[in-house]
Structure 1
Amino acid sequence: MPTTQTALTTSYWPEHGEETIRDITLGGLLREAAATVPDRLALVDGVPDPAQRRTWTYAEFLREAEKVAHALLTGFAPGTKVAIWAPNSADWVILHEGISLAGMITVPINPAYRARELQYILSQSGASVIFYADQYRGADLGEIVEEIRPELPQLQLEVRSSQWEAFLEAADPSTELPEVHPTDPIQIQYTSGTTGFPKGALLHHKGVVNEAHLVALRAGMADGDVNVNAMPMYHVGGGAVTSLGAVAMHGTYVVMNYDPGLFLELVEAYRGTHALLVPTMLLGVLDHPDRPTRDLSSFKTMMSGASAVSPALVRRTAQEMGCDFSILFGQSEMHGVISQTRITDDPEDQSKTVGQPLSHLEVKVADPITGEPVPIGVQGEVCCRGYQVMLEYYNMPEQTAQTVDAEGWLHMGDLGVMDERGYLSINGRLKDMIIRGGMNIYPREIEALIEEHPAVREAVVVGVPDPKWGEQVGAVLKLHPDAEAPAAEDLRAYCKAQLAVHKVPAIWSFVEDFPVTASGKIQKFKLREQLVTE
């Protein structure tokens, strides 16, 4: 155990100082990199056409970000909320850094959102400025902004991507950049909103910078390594974990919109070493016909998370890509990751746990009723305390109080188990627990078993209302390409050989794709509705 040799006697991980937590801002981190390695390749706009790709050294990256900050400060004060409604691009990355240098707050928005969703976030955040793409998936985003414009009196400036250069040209370089503090807010990260309107987690510089740096270190990222990122920039995985981790390591950040073939090409072209892909994205890369022919010899570590990572996927990735694996676990309210497996962890820990907590963070697995840590090996709710806890849900004091208790513990809503070394295993969400005939059933155990079946690519297990049992176990499967759908009785027999009878799914269904949120999390409630209506 890296941080302590003393075995834990209860499911409580005390704060440890394995690495130093820095009092630094996003702008400070970029300035440090530009002063240290000014001529190193910092940023690549990984568009499909190689002839159209733009690149920036660290000196150029800082210069462009400062230009953005000067342009913003010509009309707005520090503290202003600035929305970004656009897919991934290098301009997105530069804009985010410029907002931070101006002492303003980024409001990232999924470009797939439409009028009602966009209006809610702009109104709830109080954004005064919005930058947006001209088009996204055939929709004219400008038309949508104009549609809701009368309902947003606080919105003062709209900048389309085609107006980007004109916006920068208006910058006044004599404008003094403000002093920004590490605990100042930098981003309002909206939750996925699977059960209603999303809540905006207000995050600070110190939290996103240090969390990203610690994740990069634990994933084995070294000075000058290359992160190829396809995670959405409007998600904490793209907008903080990968981007700031690369800057902290003075590395190269190749930003792209997800396409498995393009990802493989960019890894080969820029000698990529690291990436973060949620399981559905990673499966797309592994299954792509170009993978065997691409030179992936530079690639060191695949990171994954956001939804459950099966042991089968860990093994397959290591074998077919010849790389290490690191599983991340956390949520936006904690600035991203709270625990992570190390690349030196043995296969058992890599396949069955999400590793140990990050440095300078308290974690407990608590009784959901009393809040007290449960004994080692007993299931409870994962709770965290420390510098990584969000400032608040923006302008939502009641919801904040429901999530962060009076002692500063953030209740994640995840069910987990801690062993005597502090390694966490996640068994699902409190709200996803199935109660069948009074017996508590945790879907993750069943999903992991089903995903070992040779025909199954991914499995999701949900509770389905049942008049006799209260809930019945249902399974929705996505098969490997060209695999034939197994008969329900064969799948039940497969599960009965390794599970108690009450855990074996009684209902089986097959899908081409799972419904997912913007962050790649599978929307179980939609699958539950599907099983009810079938």
Structure 2
Amino acid sequence: MATQSQTPSLSAPSPSNPSRAGTSSGLTESFRPADTSVPLEELTVGELLIRRAAEHPGRPALIGTRHGSGDSARLTYAELLDEAARVATGLSRLADRGDFVALWAPNVVEWPIIEFGAALAGVTLVALNPVLRLDELDYAIGHSGAKVLIHADRSRDYDMAAVAAELVAARPDVRAVSLSETDVYRPDHAAETILAQAPTDPSAPVMLQYTSGTTGNPKGVLLRHRSLVNNARLTMLGVHARPGAVAVNPLPMFHTAACVIGTLGPLWIGGTHILIEQFAPATTLDLIRSESADILFYVPAILGAVLAAQAASAGPAPRLDIIMGGASDVPAAMIEGAEQVFGAGVFNLYGQTELAPVLAVTRPGDSREDLLRSVGRPLPHADCKITDPATGAVAGIGVAGEICARGYQQFIEYLHDPAATSAAVDSDGFVHTGDLGVMDERGYLKVTGRLKELIIRGGENIAPVAVENAIAEHPLVAGAAVIGLPDERFGEIVAAVLIVRGQTPDDLADQLRAHTAERISPFMVPSRWFVADAFPATPTGKVRKFAVRDQVISARLREITPTKD
């Protein structure tokens, strides 16, 4: 059990920029040792919920939409703990402690309840994207070894219940439980001993997140209780979130941004988590007004849409204290626009799933230049360095290299993939992010690009190889190279460059769009299509993606467009 204070610390960690080189003027190389001026909390996710329910039993904790009925649910901390304890009771009957239990659902209120229930039951929650197609879902269940799949019946027009039934027909060892079957996973009463027997080891696994890799199949990122609790806590302290704040979360819950920062962040400050099931900018604005919200979590696509909706509205803009997010390059004009329209401090987060997820954040008091064009400095308890990708040596101040980090929040492993784990973590224990950046003499970071070929569209990580494989199954495609292109709304969009067999039919883009939509998730389907005679390649035959991207941007390739909307 934790020995720290029973209430959230109201003081933010003080800046600390010790230099390994020992100079008083700042860092002389791109290595920033961890700020240890604030202690870590030794808590599990379940213990944190138990603590807050004891402190604030009648305070609103969670607001969201119930699965199936669409009814609004408003739970106090006492009610949230009760529902989570009943879920823990149900899960304890379905799985053994230490088992993997998968959750496949959109942003219904049951999502965070099950997140807490899984933590109390001692099972590892496998967070799955609700738009996964059958093959993608089958891979995640098979790879994780999940014994139970808890699923929504439907997400928008997607019949998830039918897909789940098809999955378990081929996997009789997997138990599928619909969110409608509340008597199975959330019985009427919690077992008397369930809270007393809840896990207390903060180093134990609590969540498995699937993140796209450059080799096609996603990797399973295994995360600890300690990592999630403290990352949410230190992020909220970093932006000076006030105790009891009301936070609006329109981000997808299967991402760490939502289920860690957007869920455990409000929990840490004893605040209210408002979960939006289906993001709609005008509805989100109305909700911010009606609930007197203080915090909005965002990715650029969401913030841009909210700003556009407010500009089109005749009414005054709601006031916010904090707008916090990131996931891709955030235009300075968007940050300034949000500041002016909503009167909020807008803070940029940087990180990745393997870091649970936040490494660095801009903060109140940072300069205009830092707020607009940096991702701030690392959170406490994280060593950070920039290395030469070729040699691994620490780069000089202001010299671009790979961003690497080491600390309490780093992942345990890539599940069942020791080779990938070893490749991602160097001999000094630093996680290599695959992102390029520079560090200044104060330890502030700017992200300048990516070593990895992942495309980040509206906060969604997309592996080009997975899209290329789907496209290549079309009989007219002799080759495909998928790249990301800059986009004001989404940060990046997916584009495909093709080598076509024979003549290019007029409806090829329509054919390919329909073809890929049957095989991969909707957000992965390319928005733009181009045709090339050949790909620029290395002497060993590897496609030079940066050169392909340059050809597209410089309009040297012919674009084919769909004829249907």
TM-score exceeds 0.5: yes
1:161 matched to 2:179? The reply is yes
User: Which residue of the partner structure matches residue 377 of structure 2?
Assistant: 356
Counterparts of 1:317 and 1:259, CA distance in 2: 17
Aligned AA (2:323): M
**What is the CA RMSD across the aligned residues, in angstroms?**
3.2
Q: How does 1:131-280 map to 2 (within 5 A)?
A: 131-155=150-174, 157-169=175-187, 173-176=191-194, 177-193=197-213, 196-257=216-277, 258-280=279-301
- Alignment partner, residue 102 of structure 1: 121
From 336, 343, 359, the counterpart of 2:364? 343
Structure 1 ranges of 4+ moved more than 4 A:
46-51, 289-298, 473-480, 517-530
Question: 2:508 matched to which residue of 1?
Answer: none
The corresponding residue for 1:3 is: 16
After TM superposition, list the pairs within 5 Å mapping 1:63-78 onto structure 2. 63-78=82-97
- SS of 1:266's partner is helix
C-alpha deviation, 1:142, in angstroms: 1.7
Q: Return closer, same or farther for 1:357/1:178 CA change in 2, 3 Å cut-off.
A: same
Relative to structure 1, the CA distance from residue 360 to residue 187 in structure 2 (aligned partners, 3 Å threshold; closer, same or farther) is: same
Q: Is 1:26–2:45 an aligned residue pair?
A: yes
Amino acid at match of 2:242: A
Q: Give the structure 2 partner of residue 414 of structure 1.
A: 435
Contact 1:213–1:248 (8 Å) recurs in 2:
yes
Could you tell me how far apart the structure 1 residues matched to 2:93 and 2:529 are? 46
Larger mean Cα displacement after TM superposition, 419-428 or 402-411: 402-411
Distance 1:522 1:195 in 2: 18
For the Cα contact (< 8 Å) 2:82–2:190, is it kept in 1?
A: no
Partner of 1:456: none
Percent identity, please: 35
Q: Which runs of 5+ in 2 are unaligned?
A: 1-13, 19-23, 457-463, 465-480, 491-516, 531-547, 560-565
Distance in 1, Cα, partners of 2:526 & 2:383:
29
1:121 corresponds to which residue? 140
- Pick one of 326, 333, 336 that aligns with 1:315: 336
Counterparts in 2 of 1:307 and 1:404: CA distance versus 1, 3 Å: same
Change (3 A) 1:30 1:223: same
Conserved 8 A contact 1:376-1:420? yes
Please list the CA deviations of residues 498-526 of structure 1 after superposition, one character each: whole Å capped at 9, or x if unmatched. xxxxxxxxxxxxxxxxx9x9999998998
What SS does structure 1 have at the residue aligned with 2:286? helix
Residues 253 and 398 of structure 1, relative CA distance in 2, 3 Å threshold: same
Question: 2: CA distance between counterparts of 1:170 and 1:270?
Answer: 30
Cα-to-partner distance string for 1:190-233 (whole Å, 9 max, x where unaligned): 11356511101100000011001111111221110011001111
Report the Cα offset of residue 51 of structure 1: 9.5
How far apart, CA to CA, are the structure 1 residues paired with 2:217 and 2:369?
Answer: 39
Query: What's the offset of the Cα at 1:75?
Result: 3.4
Summarize the Cα distance change of 1:353–1:520 in structure 2 as closer, same or farther, 3 Å threshold: farther
Cα deviation 1:464-500 (Å, max 9, x = unaligned): xxxxxxx9x99655589xxxxxxxxxxxxxxxxxxxx
Name the aligned partner's letter for residue 332 of structure 2. Answer: P
Alignment check: 8 A CA contact 2:151 2:164 kept:
no
- Counterparts of 1:525 and 1:204 in 2: how far apart (Å)? 39
Q: Deviations over 1:226-248 (max 9, x none)?
A: 11001111000111111001000
Distance 1:180 1:336, change over 3 A: same
Pick from 347, 365, 376: which aligns with 1:326? 347
**Counterpart secondary structure, 2:181:** helix
Answer whether contact 2:46 2:198 (CA < 8 A) is retained: no
Hey, what does 1:499 align to over in structure 2? none
Deviates more, 1:73-82 or 1:517-526: 517-526
Q: Which runs of 5+ in 1 are unaligned?
A: 434-442, 445-461, 463-470, 481-514
The structure-2 alpha-carbon separation of the partners of 1:350 and 1:50, relative to structure 1 and needing over 3 Å to count, comes to farther
SS of structure 1 residue aligned to 2:260: helix
1:159 aligned partner, one-letter code: V
Note the alpha carbon deviations across 1:263-322, whole angstroms, 9 max, x for none: 111111111111211101110100015775556554111112111111111111111221
**CA shift at 1:380, angstroms?**
0.6
Please say if 1:303 is aligned against 2:324. Answer: yes
**Which range moves more in the overlay, 146-155 or 255-264?**
146-155
CA contact (8 A) 1:183 1:204 kept: yes
Aligned to 1:390: 411
**Cα displacement (A) at 1:151:** 3.6
- Provide the C-alpha distance between the structure 2 equivalents of 1:522 and 1:412, rounded to a whole number of angstroms: 25
- Counterpart contact for 1:273–1:301, Cα < 8 Å: yes
- Matched with 1:373 is 394
**1:111 Cα offset (Å):** 0.7
